[in-house]
Amino acid sequence: MDFWDPEPRTKDHVSLRGPCMGRQPLSEQVRARLTDGHVLPAPRVYPPGAMTAPPGELVAYHIGIVVGNLQAVADRYQRVLGVDRWRMREVATVRMPWDARSTDGRLNVAFGRAAGLTFELLQPLDGRTPHMDFLEKHGDGVQHIGFWTPDVRAVVDNAVKEGGRITLARLDPNGNAEVQLSPGASMEAIVGMLPTDRIAYVDPGMGGVQLEFIGPAGAAGLREWLGADFDTLLQPPPPW
């Protein structure tokens, strides 16, 4: 759907296309720009075949927020947003063999839900991890969006081909990937070692938010931890 019509553009109104849309008043900022000789850009139209979709089904189900004090943030969100309960636990993370700076680490994790949205709070405790890097660089903030996907490797491969960078992954549980990957390994080599059903984080290189892809095995681990709360806290559910 195109929202901004190329014509007409005036300093008072602009036409909008879409259901229940007519000529809409412009904000003071936009009116000032038009008065100064600026014009609104025409909508960008992509030619057929120019846009690619990631393979398989992707379903967004949570936002991940890195925090310095998980309990304080959980308490505040409970009072402000009405989160009725949090499920919390400590999680151990392992070093990423392709990152020379990476070490094993620990973080506290909590899941809660309110206002139609699932929140994951992550408090790094120790170790050189992507979560610790984020906290030191940005302070508290949204670090990632979590997606269910039936094929983690395929989705990550697509993201890497579009310029993404893998920052964290649950690799071969037998340890074979750790042996075969070394610091400086290419993104393509890392993709080749990814299981199709576990977990991987990708920094897409734009937008400032990473993407977490969770496959069936990753979902099974969350279900084992959360039990009956899995179906109420993690919505929408996995698409498989």
Could you tell me the pTM of the whole model?
0.78
Here the CATH number for the domain that contains residue 229 is: 3.10.180.10
- Asked if residue 134 is part of any domain, the answer here is yes
107 and 215: one domain?
Answer: yes
Query: What's the domain count of the chain?
Result: 2
Q: Minimum mean pLDDT among 24-38, 58-72, 93-107, 201-215: which range?
A: 24-38
- Asked if residue 1 is part of any domain, the answer here is no
pLDDT score of 3? 36
28 and 89: one domain?
Answer: no
d(CA 72, CA 181) in angstroms, rounded, equals: 39
d(CA 112, CA 121) in angstroms, rounded, equals: 8
140 and 69: one domain?
Answer: yes
94 and 41: one domain?
Answer: no
What pLDDT band is residue 50 in, cutting at 50, 70 and 90? low
Half-sphere exposure of residue 193, counting CA atoms within 13 Å on the CB side? 24
Reply yes or no on whether the pLDDT at 199 is more than 90.
yes
86 and 143: one domain?
Answer: yes
- Asked if residue 3 is part of any domain, the answer here is no
pLDDT score of 201? 97
pLDDT score of 2? 36
d(CA 240, CA 231) in angstroms, rounded, equals: 14
151 and 193: one domain?
Answer: yes
d(CA 123, CA 155) in angstroms, rounded, equals: 27
What pLDDT band is residue 49 in, cutting at 50, 70 and 90? low
Q: Counting every residue, how long is the chain?
A: 240
- Asked if residue 240 is part of any domain, the answer here is no
- Cβ-based burial of 167 (10 A; exposed 0-12, middle 13-18, buried ≥19): buried
Average pLDDT over the chain, rounded to an integer: 84
18 and 97: one domain?
Answer: no
pLDDT score of 181? 82
Domain boundaries, position 195: 59-233
Task: Determine the average pLDDT of the residues in 20-36.
Answer: 52
71 and 174: one domain?
Answer: yes
